[in-house]
Structure 1
């Protein structure tokens, strides 16, 4: 029991010590170009109404969770690929972070930081759900491998392609099919039952 508590505390410390990820929430009443949350069978995936910068930052958040949490045979490669992604895409990620924080300041005024932190926690929690861990790690590793050939100026476009794939293990079959995304989705992700 004490080991579990210490392990959870250590993970929380790592996440808090890392450079903050600008996480965003989604508003099911304001889904752009969609029929509403009902069209998804449940809540829509987080990426439905994100800006390009928010999408890039969500991909970074997802891959950060993978680097910290995917402890499998490919662990060393996942961590190395994530570190390479951060180095290779430093400029577009820094620009996305700056823009997202500016959007939070404009939308939330004096309380922007607490709202930003709250939303960041929600995004990290989405990608850390244990019931989809295996499928998520497999998809994150595939995305990291593909990211190695992406030029920095193309990262936002790549992120738009990658984020639905990273979310798919957590969305369930009904939501993935209703998204109508063209991104390739790992079949194993579709075999995970809804919570």
Structure 2
């Protein structure tokens, strides 16, 4: 009788398994879920806090200065006009938050936090990616109504610079 290759190993495994005294342990197989396919990032649930919207504006301001791209500069200036009321409101909310948190030193603390944020954006490791992202984000922000900007701010900010939320959260 001729055995196929590998069948002897299966017979041996069956014999060895039959000699064990403990019943076989059940093993659950957990299959990893595949990564999501390409597509737009999901929108955030709920509006971002004023500090996130203001940080996004700051990051786009740095892009307008750093990227030396007329499209980004023109888009940033247009964003300031289109969303002026929203930006005035979030700036006022940030100033009030810092005054409440730090008293008379609040405005100076806010200035320090914004300098740290600007420096973080100015020292991004991949300037080309940063500038490309800024162009796309400005297009999205300009196409959105002011009421929608807070809902997209966190995603846009982390797209602009993945480590930006760490700076925002450490600011105060």
* TM-score category of the 2 structures, normalised to the smaller one: 0.5 to 0.7
1:52 correspondence with 2:55: no
- Structural RMSD (CA): 1.7
- TM-score after normalising by structure 2: 0.65
Alignment match, 1:9: none
- TM-score after normalising by structure 1: 0.57
Corresponding residue SS for 1:109: helix
Contact residue 70 and residue 137 of structure 1 kept, 8 A = yes
Could you tell me how far 1:76 is from its partner in structure 2? 1.1
Q: How many residues align?
A: 118
Q: In structure 2, what is the Cα distance between the partners aligned to 1:151 and 1:112?
A: 31
Indicate the structure with greater helix content.
1
Corresponding residue SS for 1:65: helix
Larger Rg: 2
Please list the CA deviations of residues 84-139 of structure 1 after superposition, one character each: whole Å capped at 9, or x if unmatched: 11111111111000001000000001211221111010000010005321211111
Equivalent runs, 1:151-170 vs 2, <5 Å: 151-168=145-162
Alignment match, 2:36: none
Q: In structure 1, what is the Cα distance between the partners aligned to 2:126 and 2:107?
A: 30
Q: In structure 2, what is the Cα distance between the partners aligned to 1:64 and 1:122?
A: 14
Q: In structure 1, what is the Cα distance between the partners aligned to 2:102 and 2:126?
A: 32
Corresponding residue SS for 1:148: helix
Please list the CA deviations of residues 50-81 of structure 1 after superposition, one character each: whole Å capped at 9, or x if unmatched: x610010000000000001102xxx1111111
Work out which of the residue numbers 104, 116, 124 in structure 2 matches 1:110.
104
Q: In structure 2, what is the Cα distance between the partners aligned to 1:160 and 1:53?
A: 11
Q: In structure 1, what is the Cα distance between the partners aligned to 2:61 and 2:141?
A: 14
Alignment match, 2:41: none
